[in-house]
Amino acid sequence: MKIVLKKFFIYLLFFFFLTNTQSISRELPPSFADLAEKLMPSVVNISTTQTVVTNTNPFPFQFPPGSPFEDMFKEFGTPQKRKASALGSGFIIDTTGTVVTNNHVIKGAEDILVRVNGDKEYKAKIIGKDPLSDLAVLKIVSKDKFIPVKFGDSDKARIGDWVIAIGNPFGLGGTVTSGIISARNRSIGLSRYEDFIQTDASINQGNSGGPLFDMNGDVIGINTAILGQSGSIGIGFSIPSNSAKKVINQLIEFGETKRGWLGVRIQNVTKEIADIEKLGDPRGALVASVAEDSPSDKGGIKAGDIILEFDGTQIKQMSELPKIVAQTEVGKTVELKIWRNKKEIIKKITLGRLETSDEFSLKQKNEDTGISVIKSLKISVRLLNAGDIQNRKLPKGSTGLVITAIDKDSPINYLKINDIIIEAQKKRIRSVEEFERIVELVIKSSEKTMLIAIYNNQNQRRYIGVKLDWDGH
């Protein structure tokens, strides 16, 4: 009897192992070949050209007007025009040749060429673009019919799901890579509306704007950024399709976006603030300031209020609010649940449009000139570009902010125009927003000291300690 029972359990164990192995093997795709073959005709390679102006001055300084050296070295500073090209990816979403890509792929482009399925090349025009979400919509100039792909539901994508990316890395069109979804709801400091899908599918320069597909062949993400400058290290980021679709539909319909706008500056609710306000657990978004004549100002929102709910949606952390507001219809009247004076109150706000606000206009003006003002440091900066790197012979892949103006009472007034801020608190600087966040955190800290790394006008790398007071001045 014991022998019979022993054999029975052995057979049972073997059966359990076999069925589970078969179940796992069914979940693992034996090959991506059929799926890739089906999707390749819908993925395009994008190449752009634009005219850039470079300064040939080999010296990290300029001579003042009237100087005896001004005429002698004038010729060295003569601006030179040249054609620059860029590569990216995109995908077709209808039979007439509407293409989705990243805004940074076509930014400043004078000519746009789209290569379909590695074969035929077409000219394309811009239908609409949105720098805030880094999305753009193009239209292929042709009467040909094209093979589109459709968007999937990115909210259903789970960590661990298989995905494939198709794109144009380093100009090598029609490249397929595979991986899994590594994380959801990632923020890497590029914009206020970040909600990236993180994937370990290999994504490199030139993949920008290309699609991230699920195993049904639906687009669940738009590949936008990578971590690391030397190539893929298995950490890539994609805009979720559900977020992208709303922007894309507006760009197709209006040629621009129409985002909801509250008119408040917000910050995180820390445990200390929650304790002081008798809120319990830290949650919501703390209103730091209210723009004059904004929807919030007219609706009675005050600095110090904590926004707990927006139109029935709980705000668990500050970063959720801008995304929800932006996706809400302009002109809609919404209810905000506010924590004020240690109790909940309700305020009704009629949303304005972000793109027509003074806040947005100022931001756009600065973006058009390439200049951003860091108010807390009383300096103006612009992003380091390829021309700077080439002219100043900086290391390839360098990132940072070039100082364009410094106030006399700036805490870093000992620096000079054209110095380049490349690090803050030992973190590499890739955007103005990223730098501003670090500065803000330092100002709110107890030590008020920030460590920055710069390239000075002689292109020497230096570390500098910056002391900030409570007001950030």
Rounded to whole angstroms, what are the CA distances from 259 to 256, 351, 455? 10, 9, 38
Catalytic residue (one of 89, 202, 208, 294): 208
Active site annotation includes 134: yes
The beta strand positions in 253-399, using DSSP E, are 260-261, 264-268, 285-290, 306-310, 313-314, 333-340, 343-350, 352-353, 372-374, 379-383
Region at 341 (left for phi over 0; alpha for psi -120 to 50; beta for the rest): left
Contact 252, 135 (CB under 8 A): no
Contact 376, 443 (CB under 8 A): yes
Q: What single-letter DSSP state applies at residue 415?
A: S
Active site annotation includes 104: yes
State the DSSP H helix or E strand holding residue 275, giving kind and residue range, or none if neither: helix 271-276
* Radius of gyration, CA atoms only, the chain: 26
Written as six digits, the tokens of 405 are: 């103006």
Q: Give the separation between CA 262 and CA 346, rounded to whole angstroms.
A: 15
What residues have CB less than 8 Å from 369, skipping those under 6 apart?
Answer: none
Q: What are phi and psi of 272, to 5 degrees?
A: -65, -45
169-203: b or e for each residue (b if 16 or more CB lie within 10 Å)?
beeebbbbbbbebbeeebebbbeebbbbbbbbbbb
Catalytic residue (one of 42, 47, 89, 104): 104
Q: What are phi and psi of 463, to 5 degrees?
A: -100, 140
Contact 389, 398 (CB under 8 A): yes
Name residue 336's beta-bridge partners: 310, 347
Active site annotation includes 208: yes
Rounded to whole angstroms, what are the CA distances from 298 to 104, 264, 283, 321? 36, 12, 25, 19
Q: What is the DSSP track for 84-140?
A: EEEEEEEEE-STT-EEEE-HHHHTT-SEEEEEETTTEEEEEEEEEEETTTTEEEEEE
Contact 181, 196 (CB under 8 A): no
The secondary structure of 357-368, three-state, reads CHHHHHHHHHHH
Contact 286, 274 (CB under 8 A): no
Catalytic residue (one of 130, 134, 218, 419): 134
List, by residue number, the catalytic residues: 104, 134, 208
